[in-house]
Each structure stands twice: as structure tokens, then as C-alpha cells.
Amino acid sequence: MSEQRSYDAVIVGGGVIGLSCAWRLARGGARVAVLERSRRPAGATRVAAGMLAPVGELAFGEPELLKMTLAAAELYPDFVAELEEGSGLATGYRRDGALHVALDRDEAAELRRVHDLQRSLGLGAEWLPPGRCRTLEPGLTPSFNGGVQAPGEGSVDPRALVAALLAALEAEGVEVLTGTGAKAALREGERIAGVRTEQGDELRAASVVLAAGAWSGQAEWLPEPARPPVRPVKGQVLELRSRDGGAPCRRIVASERVYLVPRPDGRLIVGATVEEQGFDTAVTAGGVHELLREAYRLLPEVAEMELVEAAAGLRPGTPDNLPLVGESGVDGLLWATGHYRNGILLAPLTANAIARRLEGVPA
């Protein structure tokens, strides 16, 4: 039998963005429900490496994105501390820095260009010769052309982060409805006043927040003008595990073609391909081969590690690589999507922006 319930906000999407928005709203006293079509909340979070690396991920021509990622990184220590206290669970947050290595002269020339940009913007990054790089990470390949250290970078375990968010939401009394998606928007004139679920329940709300990641642009339950310009961008990722319990690097280690993110328990995340393949989530032999080859070029010790998992997920890309957060142009509907490669990092900033919008404060 269908039900009708009322909330201050309904979040459509149970990835780290949707869960973070729900938690921040609930902490502010709002009545919130999360609607997630899969049985297990996570979205693309399940295959994310969890890098919190605004300096190393800097790209030319994206000053607005850099401003966002730097602001989000500043929020992370307090965000994690509050979440871990509220949930009683660890998130795997660590801030051990990152080392970006140039494996040949061409990569060195490009890395120098990026480092010049980092320095011009006053970012914390230092060029190091090979000897100093190897002092930081003794497992590096014997021959390379130097690297850039970004000591302020960090990482979090995305799966642990989702588990902590779910526990914190339960403690706040937030309903997380899994295994059911949005079927239709409830309308009051031109305003969206909630959603009807695939089970027929009506969830009425002062605001609906679209946080469906790569599927946001395919939200057929919304009128077409309310669907954001979001496309899926496939990424394949590997999880390796050291058989002696210790990861082969202490900090994030990256080259031009791969990044390696260590976990405290000895696992190593190797990512990630970037593929325009629509909604395809197949793990391919070519993708696995590329990641293992490039990881081995960087840290030869990975050849001795156990291959635990190979997975593929879909990032929500936008035309300008900027997230879509805030007003959708349709009354009653907010967007919190399009975070592309930065969903984990931008989660606390996005959650704060959505909370301010629901309080009537401009972001």
C-alpha cells in the first residue's frame, strides 16, 4: 500500500554527495529522506580512490575548479572529525602528501610546466631531484627524471566514508530508502513538490535535491529542462594488497598515466582510466593491463602484490568539468551533481552549499 510522507528535503541519489548533503541538512535540523535506486548506497564512490589532491590534480584553464577544490580540502579535517564522532566509525582519512613523478624527459617537461603554474599560484609544491624523491619513497623505479612533492595532499577511504555517513544518518533519524528510484516528480503548478517512488510512495518536500551522479542527466522523472548536462565518464580501478601487510608507498604516488593511493591496512588503489564509453561498466583486459603496466613502471613492487579487485564506475562529467550545485532553474529542485573526478573531495563543500540554499542563503 502506497504512503505519503513529508520532509524538508528529499535527496535523490545515495552516493557520497547525496549522503553528505543529507547529513549536513539533518545536522541543521531538517527532516530528510534519501532515495537510492540500488540496494547498496555508494554510486561511483564504490570505485573511487579517495584522493584529496587539489594541488596535484591542478589543470590549466580551470581556476574556478581549483578554488573549489582548495576550499574543500580545507574543510576536510573538520568534516571528517565531526562525521567520525557522529558515526563512531573511522573514514581512513590521512594527510601524508603526494609525490608526482616524471618517468621520462617528456613527462618531466610537462610536470615542470604544471609546477610552474603551481608556484605562480602560491600552492604548496616543490620540485625534487630523483635522489630526494627516492628518500621519500624508496620503492620508486630506479630510473626517472624527478618529481613534485605536494605535502598537504591527503586521501580518504571512500567505502569507509560511505559507511560512516550511513551510520551518522541513522543516528540523525534520516530515512535512507534503497532499492527504489524516483518514478515521477510531484508537481504543484510549475513547482516540483516531491517525488513518487517506483513503489508508488509519495515523498513530498520543500526541496528536492538531484544527486544522482552520472545518471542525473538521464532523470526521466524530471521535465527535460530540469535535467542537467551530465554524461557518464567511465573509470577502471584496481585494488591490490601487500602480502606482508605493508603498502609499497607511504603517500599518494602518481605519474602522468596512473596514481597509487595507499590504505593504512596495506591495500593499494591503482587508478584510473578515463573512457568515454557511455554507461558501460565492464572491466576490460586492456584497462587492467594499462593500470598494472603503468603502476609497475612507477613502483616495481606492485608486481608481487595480490590483485584483490578490478572494478569500473561512472563519473558524472559536465561540459566544462565544473560541478552543478544549486538552482536548477525549476522551482523546488536543486542540483548537486557533475563532480566528475572530484566527488569525494568536493562532498563537504557541496553539502554546505546545499544547506545554505535550503536556508535561503546564496552560495
* Beta partners for residue 326, in sequence order: 335
The number of distinct structural domains making up the chain is 3
Exposure letters 251-282 (e unless 16+ CB within 10 A, then b): bbbbbbebbbbbbeebbbbbbbbebeeeeebe
Please report which confidence band the pLDDT of residue 188 belongs to, taking 50, 70 and 90 as the band edges: very high
Looking at residue 43, what is its pLDDT?
63
Classified as helix, coil or strand, 314 is strand
Say how far apart CA 297 and CA 131 lie, in whole Å. Answer: 17
For residues 270-277, give the mean pLDDT: 93
Each residue's pLDDT tens digit, 113-159: 999 999 999 999 999 999 999 999 999 999 999 999 999 999 999 99
Check if the beta carbon of residue 194 is closer than 8 Å to that of residue 4.
no
> In this model, does residue 361 exceed pLDDT 70?
no
| Claim to verify: residue 205 and residue 251 sit in the same structural domain | no
Say how far apart CA 144 and CA 126 lie, in whole Å. Answer: 17
How high is the mean pLDDT of the chain? 94
Last residue of a domain, one of 119, 151, 183: 151
DSSP state letters, 120-135: HTT-S-EEE-HHHHHH
Looking at residue 363, what is its pLDDT?
47
| Claim to verify: residue 311 and residue 246 sit in the same structural domain | yes
Residue 140 lies in a domain: yes
> In this model, does residue 40 exceed pLDDT 80?
no
Please report which confidence band the pLDDT of residue 42 belongs to, taking 50, 70 and 90 as the band edges: low
| Claim to verify: residue 242 and residue 313 sit in the same structural domain | yes
Q: Please report which residue ranges of 225-265 form alpha helices under DSSP H.
A: none
> In this model, does residue 44 exceed pLDDT 70?
no
Find, among 130, 132, 149, 150, the residue nearest to 141 by Cα: 130
| Claim to verify: residue 44 and residue 144 sit in the same structural domain | no
Looking at residue 79, what is its pLDDT?
98
Each residue's pLDDT tens digit, 330-354: 999 999 999 999 999 999 999 999 9
Say how far apart CA 200 and CA 211 lie, in whole Å. Answer: 21
Domain assignment of residue 110, given as a range: 98-151
| Claim to verify: residue 136 and residue 172 sit in the same structural domain | no
Least trusted range by pLDDT, from 37-51, 281-295, 307-321, 348-362: 37-51
Last residue of a domain, one of 107, 134, 151: 151
Say how far apart CA 275 and CA 230 lie, in whole Å. Answer: 15
